[in-house]
Structure 1
Amino acid sequence: MASTTFALDVAEKALLEHGFFALDDSLVGDRIWEMEERGFPYFTEYGLDFCRQFAFDQRIRSILENSFEKCSLGHWLRYEEFPGHVECFRRGGPRAGRRVLVVHLWAKGSQVAYYVGSHLHEMATSRSRRSLYEIPLSELDRVGSKPKHKDFPDGGIVILDARLGFEIKEGYAITFLYATDEVIANWAKIVLPYSKALVEKVSDMEKESTRIGLNFAFEVSPGGKAT
């Protein structure tokens, strides 16, 4: 399966009402497999090419630009399976508002449950072992949020509200977080090793969109010059 059909109005409706929108996409699965075979070299020329391909994917970009006046990519990590634990990246329900969107790029064979509508409710949470917020099942039951199970035998993309609860049952997702300016201001930078090649890669990425920035910084160069 190459890719399921994308329509912005359908994606936006699903994101508002259910909290997520899913696309099967075997290209994602293939590229993640290549990334894994190379040992997940995020902060290399290859890694930044991967980041550019998906962080500015036209489907993702259209949702971001429809949702935010301006935002930045501020988080880029791999999250592995954690069965039995429902997590979210942001808590607060309506009080927190939609200020952060998440992109899950799913490896082949991954399985996940998304808790429909949980982004619309403020719930008690605790810190999970990987610094996300963990939501007790009792809270999800209280607000009537039920899991929607998704299997990605060939890989896929899910765009979700950061307040949405999810449980990674099997596999892993390379994960991007995009946040508005007032939120991103409190986040640490993604620090890249200094090289002229990487500086050029980032410069090219910054030209992709005037409304989607990068929360990147470089280590001090060999000559002692900060970038």
Structure 2
Amino acid sequence: MMDELELLKRDWQKNDKKLPQLSFDEIYKMIWKKSSSIVKWIFLISIIEFLVPHLLYFLPSMSKNLAVWKDLGLGNFLLISNVVQYTVVLFFIFQFYKRYKEISTLDNAKKLLSNILKTRKTVKYYVIFCLSLIFISFIVMAVGIYLNEDPMAAMGYSYQPENISREQLKTTLIATVVVLGIVVTLVMGCIYFLLYGILLKKLKKNYKELKDMDI
């Protein structure tokens, strides 16, 4: 089914006086409202995404995972990464809110075009940062395993598998963590695509609609 806005835009472009014509301002207002709603959803999703992991901290398994990081000697990295994460994520959330407020009060088509571009770039940078932080965390854990004399004990396992040396065990653990990091990063990338990719695609469509109106 053809998009309603596309039909209205075609009506606006027609020269047939028998058909009801829509003004540029009327079509602009429709695109503006759609864009404002999309940016609002981006802002709300970023807040939910920020809050949900903190709720998981109440789970016993999360407490155990935090203890593993400390036992591997990565407590300082965990602290620094949390500070960086909070600072950068809160900065991006503020930027999403700022973009939403700007779009909500715009009355200029060219400014709307510029704001849509800024929003799309901000979301892309946000996704790149989040995925990079996830992957780097796994790499740092792999380094922690390599530097630890007894990574199995640090990870809460008291037994030593037979027929395998400690170095071979370290290599296996490191490889497992790196592969797991790649898989988790790819899975999170797919989730981010679903959360933000669809919204960005709609914003891109709105941008194209405005450009096609010869602004």
TM-score (norm 2): 0.25
Name which one, 1 or 2, has greater alpha-carbon Rg: 2
Which has the larger strand fraction? Answer: 1
Which has the larger helix fraction? Answer: 2
> Which structure is higher in RCO with an 8 Å CA cutoff and minimum separation 6?
1
